[in-house]
Structure 1
Amino acid sequence: MKILQALFFPPEQPGGVSSMIPYVQDRFNKIGWPMELFSLPKRVRGKGQEEVVFDTFDPKPFEGHPIVDKYLQTYRDYVWWTKLRMTKRFDLVHAHHPIAALVMKQLYPDTPLAMTVHSSYERELILNGKIAEGGPEHKFLTSIYRELEHKADRMLTVSESFRSYLTPYVDRPEAIGVIPNGFDEKRFKPISHENEVVQLITVCRLVPAKGLDILLHACAELKRRGHPFVLHIIGDGPIRPELEQLALQLDLYDDIIFYGYMLHPEEFMPFFDVFVLPSRAEAFGSVFAEAALCWLALIGTNVGGISEQIENGVNGLLVPPEDPIALSDALEKVITDPVFRYNMARHAWNKAKRDYSLHRVISQLKQVYIDLKPES
């Protein structure tokens, strides 16, 4: 069976898809199922000219809003690029972005299509202050889910909580399969070490949705309580200047290191002690599984896929979102009790190896592909 993994941007971009799909490709190729990747280069902008037509709703009333116009133009660009560069036919397409899925089904209607919804673009835009909940951009983006349901032969997502999120926007939520992301454990090499001062690390895009303002306020409270630490922030994004200014205002300049974007943070994480990320929303939160495989204690917010990965007090600590005091209390607990911290990290590693192995993902995807294309 020849399979195409249709992505949005190239797989070197940060995020859960990039952490998994190239390794999925490698495993399938090794077992004799040829698999290729396809994506839209960032340099392709404004090329497509075709009208965008959907079956379940009319996009025209939403035009004139910048987010919608950009989305539709990207759709046209994906059509243009696919027609230009796609020279092979595949037995099955597995898409990992709505635009990729809908374009592939438009151009190859007879090819079975699986679609994994990895995240909520509209929720991120709301949390980042870019669009209003219930506004036209929000309505347009959530309408895409029913279009995907109509077009895809199989819809998947990455957590039970995200399937619940999709429920109001589709007709048959019970038909959406759940396959959590998986990781090649050979990429992760825990290192035995003892840090004199506890080293905290977070890895994410620097956008409001990730809650790093809450983390900095929690760290300021931690410092007021007299607990030494160093916070390492790996990632980049539009609010980095604001976060750096907030660190200065909170007298945290000497306690925080901003690294910027890093392609393979898993090579860096094993030298630290605690992974913390107080996201305001998260469909899955791949970085928590990655941190667990590096043998780090986990602290996250009780939202989305994070709460499915962390059993509070066993393999990590869960705190409410938007609560710097609760986050500071959790940090204080892991900083002052190294035995508790070590045991949580050990349980996190065990759970991640058991539940988020790439072997498990390969097995589940194979069954999905066989169901969609049984004669292959």
Structure 2
Amino acid sequence: MEKIKVMHIIRAAEGGMKKHLLSILLGLDKEKYQLAVGCSFDKNTSDYLHENGVLVYHVDICDGLNVSKDASAIIKIRNMIRDFKPEIIHFHGAKASLIGRFACFGYNLKIVMTVHNFPEYKRMNKIKKRLYLSMNKYLNKKTNAIITVSEALKRAIVDEENIAPEKVKVIYNCVDLSTYVDNPSLDFRKEYNLEPDTLLIGCISRLIPSKGVQDLIKALEILKGRVKVFAFVAGDGPYLNYLQDMVQKAKLENIRFLGYRNDINDFLRNIDIFVLPSHSEGFGISVAEAMTLGVPVIATNVGGIPEIIENNEDGIIVNPESPNDLANAIEILATNTDLRNKFSKKGREYIVSNFSKEKMLNDIDILYENLRRK
């Protein structure tokens, strides 16, 4: 049987979007699918994909609108389409979906896009919002299927872009911890000389304002003298210097920024409580990863988070942009061992039952098969 040729396109990405795509590329049945990806991944990732039968094309997709760079990326994608000759092309993220769908003009392709994050229309001025909305509404009509990674995200784009709800399918991100490098020697307590009764807090986040790490810093300031906690933040981004300045001004000695990590399994095994203080979150893959490894979680009431956590049953949900609420939740968990144990057990059971890689891959396989029949 001839294999189904599917090409995926993504901009430069880390975090949940990249993890999601790698799970698809590495997990779909290679006897059934011939896969290619257009990306700007690092050499190690690209080599690993190539070793696992995925054809890798290099394409740079910039953030924001840039006529010259976008035109170059469109030409590159069209060349990739001509070379690979996919039956289905699948875009990930807003920018890749925008220019990628323009690149498909004139080709007989089944077009899929996955929306990973909430549209930023509210942050745009009127002219820019009108431009982006008009382009997306036009391109959505030429798109065969739209995937969102949470019900909250589906509601948002259906409302904002006037999409027919039946055209949008929710396929949750899966928890796939197999793509991480193990670092079993990692020992935060030993490395930072921390006492046994100090509770270790972990946060995995891109360092940008919307991820809310500044709220965690303010919460730690509130908690001075109330509980013994030490926080580790894994991730990098343009907000790092600002956050470090905040820590210095608050005279906090109990937080460290660790930069980008690829040993997330062991990072999570080293902490007692996971905190995600985001102001906006399409799904919240790091929350699901922490729960899978039995780490009790505190996260904000945004996006897809309430679809992962049942408040006070398998984790704690707090209001976004509220350092006081975050501090209170940290204190509750830090001083209640029984509650931490309860969240650890129930959280892991829920994630394993509902967000498996097998379920996600099966849902995507069914979607591709349905598109081929149309």
Q: For this structure pair, what is the TM-score category when the shorter chain's length is used for normalisation?
A: 0.7 to 0.9
Query: Which residue of the partner structure matches residue 49 of structure 2?
Result: none
Change (3 A) 1:37 1:327: same
Q: Once the two structures are superposed, what CA deviation does each residue of 1:167-209 show, in whole Å capped at 9, x if it has no partner?
A: 13224134311111112254589x9x99531110111111110
Query: Which residue of the partner structure matches residue 174 of structure 2?
Result: 182
Give the residue type in structure 2 aligned to 1:337. N
Give the residue type in structure 1 aligned to 2:199. V
2:85 aligned with 1:89:
yes
Change (3 A) 1:31 1:230: farther
Q: Is the 8 A contact 2:7 2:36 kept in 1?
A: yes
Q: Once the two structures are superposed, what CA deviation does each residue of 1:189-246 show, in whole Å capped at 9, x if it has no partner?
A: 9x9x995311101111111101111111111111242x01110011111111111111
Q: Secondary structure at the match of 2:28?
A: helix
Change (3 A) 1:264 1:150: farther
Query: Which residue of the partner structure matches residue 217 of structure 1?
Result: 218
Query: Which residue of the partner structure matches residue 112 of structure 1?
Result: 110
2:131 aligned with 1:140:
yes
Q: Is the 8 A contact 2:97 2:113 kept in 1?
A: yes
Change (3 A) 1:40 1:255: closer
Query: Which residue of the partner structure matches residue 8 of structure 1?
Result: 10
Give the residue type in structure 2 aligned to 1:245. D
Alignment of 1:46-61 (within 5 A): none
> Structure 1 residue runs of 4+, over 6 Å off?
41-47
Quote how far apart the aligned CAs of 1:351 are: 1.4
Change (3 A) 1:158 1:199: same
Distance 1:110 1:7 in 2: 17
Count of residue correspondences: 343
Q: Is the 8 A contact 1:187 1:266 kept in 2?
A: no
Quote how far apart the aligned CAs of 1:14 are: 1.3
Deviates more, 1:208-217 or 1:26-35: 26-35
Q: Once the two structures are superposed, what CA deviation does each residue of 1:42-67 show, in whole Å capped at 9, x if it has no partner?
A: 996799xxxxxxxxxxxxxxxxxxx8
Query: Which residue of the partner structure matches residue 58 of structure 1?
Result: none
Query: Which residue of the partner structure matches residue 250 of structure 1?
Result: 250
Gaps of 5+ in 1: 48-66, 127-131
Quote how far apart the aligned CAs of 1:248 are: 1.5
Give the residue type in structure 2 aligned to 1:275. F
Q: Once the two structures are superposed, what CA deviation does each residue of 1:251-294 show, in whole Å capped at 9, x if it has no partner?
A: 21x20011112234234222111110111111111111111122
Name the TM-score, length of structure 2 as normaliser. 0.83
Distance 1:91 1:73 in 2: 28
Alignment of 1:279-294 (within 5 A): 279-294=278-293
Match of 1:164 among 152, 155, 159: 155
Q: Secondary structure at the match of 1:231?
A: strand
Q: Is the 8 A contact 2:215 2:321 kept in 1?
A: yes
Query: Which residue of the partner structure matches residue 59 of structure 1?
Result: none
Give the residue type in structure 2 aligned to 1:262. R
Distance 1:135 1:292 in 2: 40
Q: Is the 8 A contact 1:14 1:263 kept in 2?
A: no
Q: Secondary structure at the match of 2:222?
A: helix
Distance 1:186 1:198 in 2: 27
Q: Is the 8 A contact 1:40 1:78 kept in 2?
A: no
Q: Secondary structure at the match of 2:114?
A: strand
Quote how far apart the aligned CAs of 1:320 are: 0.6
Change (3 A) 1:101 1:307: same
Give the residue type in structure 2 aligned to 1:162. L
Change (3 A) 1:331 1:133: same
Deviates more, 1:27-36 or 1:233-242: 27-36
Give the residue type in structure 1 aligned to 2:319. P
2:70 aligned with 1:75:
yes
Q: Secondary structure at the match of 2:117?
A: coil
2:229 aligned with 1:233:
no
Q: Secondary structure at the match of 2:332?
A: helix
Q: Is the 8 A contact 1:98 1:148 kept in 2?
A: no
Q: Is the 8 A contact 2:88 2:110 kept in 1?
A: yes
Query: Which residue of the partner structure matches residue 57 of structure 1?
Result: none
Q: Secondary structure at the match of 2:281?
A: coil
Q: Secondary structure at the match of 1:325?
A: helix
Quote how far apart the aligned CAs of 1:372 are: 0.3
Q: Secondary structure at the match of 1:242?
A: helix
Name the TM-score, length of structure 1 as normaliser. 0.82
Quote how far apart the aligned CAs of 1:68 are: 5.4
Give the residue type in structure 2 aligned to 1:182. C
Distance 2:265 2:9 in 1: 22
Distance 1:267 1:46 in 2: 32
Q: Is the 8 A contact 2:11 2:61 kept in 1?
A: no
Gaps of 5+ in 2: 43-57, 190-195
